[in-house]
Amino acid sequence: MENETHHQERTSFKRIQTLQVGMLSLTALVLTVIWLVLLVYGMVRIGPAVTLAEAMAVANKLDSLFYVTYINAALITIAVTALFAGLYVCYRQIAPLWSAVALIFVPPYTLLNLFVYLSQVTIIPRLLSINHAAPNQGGISPS
């Protein structure tokens, strides 16, 4: 009887883990679809930037869509990192070596992605404002 109770508890725990991983997968999917919609909308709205002058003009117009797109990308990274951790918990008993090997790559992936995406909304606007404020003092000239 005790063995059966233990088996039921373990099965219930596995169902909860599967549900949690499924919710993380769904969250990552929804955020990715939102990112794609924002990306396509931004590209259609802005149009192609062929020359350096056009690219600089686009870069200097950092509107709310720009910030929302990159913040959403950072949220995708967080959701996917949580998904990777959930997958590790689910599969570490089945494939302990491969689960550990896969988990080794998660922290660098997360840190690099967050640095890149969050620098887009923090560092890049500052660099553009410096370049815009002093174009004759070593800034990039759009012509």
Give pTM, 2 decimals: 0.76
Is the confidence at residue 6, as pLDDT, over 80?
no
Note the pLDDT of residue 1: 63
Is the confidence at residue 27, as pLDDT, over 90?
yes
Read off the amino acid at residue 42.
G
Token output for 19: 């549900």
**Pick from 79, 73, 82: which is nearest to 121 by CA?**
73
Note the pLDDT of residue 137: 55
Encode pLDDT of 84-119 as tens digits: 999 998 888 999 999 899 889 999 999 999 999 999
Note the pLDDT of residue 126: 85
Check: CB of residue 140 under 8 Å from CB of residue 56. Answer: yes
Instruction: Identify the weakest region by mean pLDDT among 26-35, 51-60, 80-89, 107-116.
Output: 51-60
Note the pLDDT of residue 40: 94
Q: Give residue 25's pLDDT band: very low, low, confident or very high (50, 70, 90).
A: very high
Q: Give residue 50's pLDDT band: very low, low, confident or very high (50, 70, 90).
A: confident
